[in-house]
Amino acid sequence: MKSLVLLLLALQASPAASAQTTGAWSASSAGGSVTTGKQLLRGRPLFSPESLSPSAQAVRISWRITLLSPPPSGLVIKLCRIDKCIPLPALAGERRIDVPLAANGEFRFIYSVNSLGQLQPALNVVRNQLTVNYR
């Protein structure tokens, strides 16, 4: 019996038992502007904390984007890492992540407007905010 208790204590203290660490990180950045349709705006990078494990996987994201004026018709927003992009359906929301997506490293918001010619008014992104929940 004593050896069984010691075995259970050892398993609880092992790195494998603590591998399912969960948490969240948040970051924000200033935006930019687009004056012509079909142009891409790459937001400034948002970085996870350096202490975040490379094995951490995103399970949910929340975002809020602040514009100077109402969004133009045809606005397309994506949240991107170097290896994949996730389409975002609105200026704010949250979404469960169903595909493998590393929670560490650099994220960027990418904006485009599906229209031709000059935008009146221009797309002016004041602020990008992102929260990544990970496991």
Confidence (pLDDT) at 6: 38
Work out how many domains the chain is built from and give that number. 1
Return mean pLDDT, the chain: 88
| Structural domain boundaries enclosing 109 | 21-134
Residue 74, domain member (yes or no): yes
- The residue ranges of the chain whose pLDDT is under 70 are 1-20
Q: What is the DSSP track for 81-125?
A: -SS-EEEE-SSEEEEE--S--BSSSEEEEEEEE-S-SEEEEEEEE
Residue 120, domain member (yes or no): yes
Confidence (pLDDT) at 20: 59
Between CA 109 and CA 85 the distance in angstroms is 9
Residue 50, domain member (yes or no): yes
Residue 15, domain member (yes or no): no
**Among residues 134, 104, 123, which one has the least CA distance to residue 65?**
123
Residue 73, domain member (yes or no): yes
Between CA 54 and CA 100 the distance in angstroms is 13
Contact 59, 100 (CB under 8 A): no
Residue 129, domain member (yes or no): yes
Residue 60, domain member (yes or no): yes
**Among residues 69, 67, 71, 94, which one has the least CA distance to residue 79?**
94
CATH code, domain with 106: 2.60.120.260
